[in-house]
Structure 1
Amino acid sequence: LSARPDENAATFKSGWLGNYFVQLIKPKEKLNKMKTPAEMNPGSTELSRTSIDRFIKQQKRWLQLLEQAGKVNLTTVKTAISLSKWIRLRLGDTLRFVIHHNDRHLVQAEKIWEAQRSLAMSA
């Protein structure tokens, strides 16, 4: 996100396709199941300290990118997506998607954590 500050950066208008993807991934009361594409699924690999360190590093980088995003026009700057090289979303929609995608994973993790806690308490 290396661009000069844009006076229109504070105004963002979501595109119809970006909004569709955001609504699709957004956590809901009852999570709709989504199949993870095989190339993006780590499978049943162990969670190592290296994986956790890499995740923390990625989150710090994510915060830097969000800060930089405040200096560009989130409506006119476009980003490619992993599903198709022909589809490009507005940067603001891409950021919204990633934020809600992360929220979805947090909700999943919290449910697992609560289930494990309940099992431990009933044992």
Structure 2
Amino acid sequence: MSIDRETFENTSEDELADLSVPDQVLGFLAANEDRAFKAREIASQIGVDEGAVSTALSRLKDRGLVEHKATYWAVTNDAGRLDGYCGYERATALFNDQLGAEDKDSWREHAPQEPHPSVKDEQ
């Protein structure tokens, strides 16, 4: 996954090295907690090999941090479990530093009122 130049210059090597593939996957899923993704979609979004993402997802599932249904993956809605995982905190902090903290109210103002047509077909 690429990072911007400011993050590159202002982040220590230890902090950059600490963000493992499972941390990146979990951070991405947590940032998109209202959606579920296929492994290849996650890999494409975070810039990591699909095989590495699949392995990370399996390990995160074993820890109860993600949920799996058919070919889709989503972050758990068990806040206590997420709070107990320090990698989640590192990933969230790094994404917040890079992208700014998420303002859910602002996001909701611009969110479509209707689900995507593909979601309607599945209901």
- In proportion to residue count, which structure has more helix? 2
TM-score, normalised to structure 2, is 0.29
TM-score, normalised to structure 1, is 0.29
Tell which has more relative contact order, 1 or 2 (C-alpha 8 A, sep 6+).
1
Query: Could you say which structure has the larger radius of gyration?
Result: 1
